[in-house]
Amino acid sequence: MQNRLRLGQFVTQRVGAQFQENWTDGYAFQELSRRQEEITSEREEIDRQKKMLVKKRPSNSETGGRKRASSQSGTGSSSSSTNSVPINSTPSVSTPPITLPSASINNNQVTGATTGTVLHNGTVAPSSALDTATFLKPEAVPGLSWQEYYEADEILKLRQSALKKEDADLQLEMEKLERERNLHIRELKRIHNEDQSRFNNHPVLNDRYLLLMLLGKGGFSEVHKAFDLKEQRYVACKVHQLNKDWKEDKKANYIKHALREYNIHKSLDHPRVVKLYDVFEIDANSFCTVLEYCDGHDLDFYLKQHKTIAEREARSIVMQVVSALKYLNEIKPPVIHYDLKPGNILLTEGNVCGEIKITDFGLSKVMDEENYNPDHGMDLTSQGAGTYWYLPPECFVVGKNPPKISSKVDVWSVGVIFYQCLYGKKPFGHNQSQATILEENTILKATEVQFANKPTVSNEAKSFIRCCLAYRKEDRIDVFTLSRHEYLQPPLPKHGRQSANNQQQQQQQQQQQQQQQQQISAANFASGMFGNMNASSSS
């Protein structure tokens, strides 16, 4: 209840004749919004004061300005005393006031000893000032000395800097609060789905698996955390439920698809692949597959929480994914995952510093000898299925014959996932729906990947991504070549480099010694030959 008040909650509201559940933010978000409005208001006030300060900015140095000001004031006083009478001011000398009889005013001219013009405020301006003093001028903005201007400008800059820091802190606090809210919403939905589940009374399935809590819900399945009473371990029970209103052929097709996934998955045994333990029937309209339990979120949820991942951690994830793909291509017959995406990469420890496991082989393709040709690949019989952001261009080609695919489909997916981890967005069709991607042929037009300036990513990582996202499948590297890519290889340790250098030096020394020995032996042989020849000639 405390989190609902602080972070927010779903509120049922009436819209016309229907009721809808709308999200309402809690008091923590309302407080942050209020502070954000205050910062915006203060920023506008600082900008206004800076504009006013610019108007008061002295044009020259303080000394030069004072000299010119004094000279101009002296000239102005002398000229005013001889030529004109200041407007709205009292003369400094004791001059009798000018009387202006009403009868003597004609066409704004004053008759008498002094000739002038009556202004709208009742004062008199001399005729010599008709061109310049007909209207009252606004008072000039008082100027500032350089010292005063510098002090005021420095104060505004400091206020602006403090405001910028406060705004940055507020953004960090907002991001942290949003992560809490995402977890809170996820938990609220989980509780709601668990209450609606037919297994909310925590039954024991197949006399072995005690259901503990609902982990997630899909279109036609639920995943429960369970405890294996026989093996004494936690497992994940994926309950598949067929719709009772489906026709028999649709039910048979769904069961066939699920059994196909089971037959592919059951033989897989690799530390980077989620293990499949068991499968059994619950009733006529539901059955269950038992999987290895991973105590953590998937990569998709992590990216929604943290936006991006540092290159080193992202590289570790990619290394593990490629290791799993290499295994899938080494077994007989090889397997194409085909639905590799962040949602199917589980973080066993809930963070990117630990191990990962890939899961969900529902769309996998078996490259058996009947369907797969090493030179051309295999027919894509399920065109239109999958997650479009992570599929390569060849999967979207429409023609008389189905497109040919190979394990290079998964290589493309690796490149997209790595790019998304580093930059926080998908390289192609990031803000598009799957329908829009099809309508606009987004992936078919994805001929070249573009890299942003921020965040900073190494050239080696960019080169690796380009290899994965080569547009033509003929130009794209396969899984085995990808696993040998230099970016994924361990660096040569320092002692290894030193030992290698020492070996090279030893080999060079041995070669030099051998050459010297050969030269010495050749010289000895030559001297011996000449010595024998001299001895024989003397005899």
Predicted confidence (pLDDT) at residue 106 exceeds the cutoff of 50: no
Which residues does 15 contact at the CB level (< 8 Å), separation at least 6? none
The pLDDT, as a whole number, for residue 79 is 45
Cβ-based neighbour number of residue 47 at 10 Å: 12
The residue written with tokens 């799993």 in the block is: 324
Distance, in Å, from the CA atom of 68 to the CA atom of 60, rounded to the nearest integer, reads 10
Over residues 380-390, the pLDDT tens digits come to 877 778 899 99
| Highest mean predicted confidence (pLDDT) among 128-137, 140-149, 185-194, 374-383 | 185-194
The pLDDT, as a whole number, for residue 269 is 94
Q: Which of 152, 129, 131, 128 is nearest to 142 (CA)?
A: 152
Q: Which residues pair with 378 in a beta bridge?
A: 405
333: preceding bond cis by omega (within 30 degrees): yes
The pLDDT, as a whole number, for residue 123 is 57
Q: Dmax of the chain from CA atoms?
A: 164
User: What is the amino acid identity at position 495?
Assistant: H
Over residues 70-105, the pLDDT tens digits come to 555 554 444 444 444 444 444 444 444 444 444 444
Quote the tokens at residue 163. 């405001």
Q: Please state the φ and ψ torsions of residue 15, each to the nearest 5 degrees.
A: -125, 100
The pLDDT, as a whole number, for residue 5 is 87
Q: Which residues pair with 118 in a beta bridge?
A: 124
Q: Is 238 annotated as a binding residue?
A: yes
Distance, in Å, from the CA atom of 44 to the CA atom of 58, rounded to the nearest integer, reads 24
Distance, in Å, from the CA atom of 462 to the CA atom of 428, rounded to the nearest integer, reads 15
Q: Average pLDDT of 254-259?
A: 80
Superfamily of segment(s) 204-292: Phosphorylase Kinase; domain 1 (3.30.200.20)
Residue 8 contacts residue 25 (beta carbons within 8 Å): yes
Distance, in Å, from the CA atom of 490 to the CA atom of 479, rounded to the nearest integer, reads 18
Q: Which of 192, 181, 180 is nearest to 216 (CA)?
A: 192
Q: Per mean pLDDT, which range of 4-13, 411-420, 450-459 is the poorest?
A: 4-13
Residue 197 contacts residue 222 (beta carbons within 8 Å): yes
Predicted confidence (pLDDT) at residue 489 exceeds the cutoff of 60: yes
What are the angstrom distances between the C-alpha of 140 and each of 56, 73, 137, 152?
10, 15, 9, 20
Burial class for 309, CB neighbours closer than 10 Å (0-12, 13-18, 19+): buried
Predicted confidence (pLDDT) at residue 530 exceeds the cutoff of 50: no
The pLDDT, as a whole number, for residue 423 is 96
Coil/strand/helix, residue 29: helix
Over residues 346-375, the pLDDT tens digits come to 998 878 888 999 999 988 888 877 777 776
Q: Which of 340, 319, 322, 369 is nearest to 477 (CA)?
A: 322
- The residue from 167, 169, 195, 339 that is catalytic is 339
* Residue ranges in 237-386 assigned as alpha helix (H): 248-265, 299-306, 311-330
DSSP for 232-259?
TEEEEEEEEE--TTS-HHHHHHHHHHHH
Residue 384 contacts residue 402 (beta carbons within 8 Å): no
Predicted confidence (pLDDT) at residue 531 exceeds the cutoff of 90: no
The pLDDT, as a whole number, for residue 350 is 78
Q: Does domain 299-488 have CATH number 3.40.50.620?
A: no
Q: Per mean pLDDT, which range of 42-51, 128-137, 488-497 is the poorest?
A: 128-137
The pLDDT, as a whole number, for residue 56 is 86
Distance, in Å, from the CA atom of 455 to the CA atom of 474, rounded to the nearest integer, reads 31
The pLDDT, as a whole number, for residue 90 is 42
* Mean per-residue pLDDT of the chain: 81
pLDDT above 90 coverage of the chain, percent: 43
The pLDDT, as a whole number, for residue 63 is 46
Band (508; pLDDT cuts 50, 70, 90): low
- The crossing angle, in degrees rounded to 10, of helices 408-423 and 311-330 is 170
Distance, in Å, from the CA atom of 276 to the CA atom of 203, rounded to the nearest integer, reads 21
User: What is the amino acid identity at position 264?
Assistant: I
The pLDDT, as a whole number, for residue 220 is 80
The pLDDT, as a whole number, for residue 122 is 57
Half-sphere exposure at residue 527, Cβ-oriented, CA atoms within 13 angstroms: 6
Band (48; pLDDT cuts 50, 70, 90): very high
Residue 339 bears catalytic tag: yes
User: What is the amino acid identity at position 287?
Assistant: F
Distance, in Å, from the CA atom of 299 to the CA atom of 356, rounded to the nearest integer, reads 9
Burial 337-376 (b: 16+ CB within 10 A, else e): bbbbbbbbbbbeeeebeeebbbbbbbbbbbbeeeebeeee
Provide the 8-state DSSP code for 402: P
Over residues 291-335, the pLDDT tens digits come to 999 988 899 999 998 999 999 999 999 999 999 999 999 998 899
Half-sphere exposure at residue 522, Cβ-oriented, CA atoms within 13 angstroms: 6
Burial 189-218 (b: 16+ CB within 10 A, else e): eeeeebeebebeeeeebeebbbbeebbebe
Q: Average pLDDT of 427-438?
A: 90
Q: Which residue has the higher pLDDT, 431 or 514?
A: 431
Q: Which residue has the higher pLDDT, 476 or 252?
A: 476
Residue 350 contacts residue 301 (beta carbons within 8 Å): no
The pLDDT, as a whole number, for residue 105 is 42
Predicted confidence (pLDDT) at residue 10 exceeds the cutoff of 70: yes
- The crossing angle, in degrees rounded to 10, of helices 408-423 and 459-468 is 140
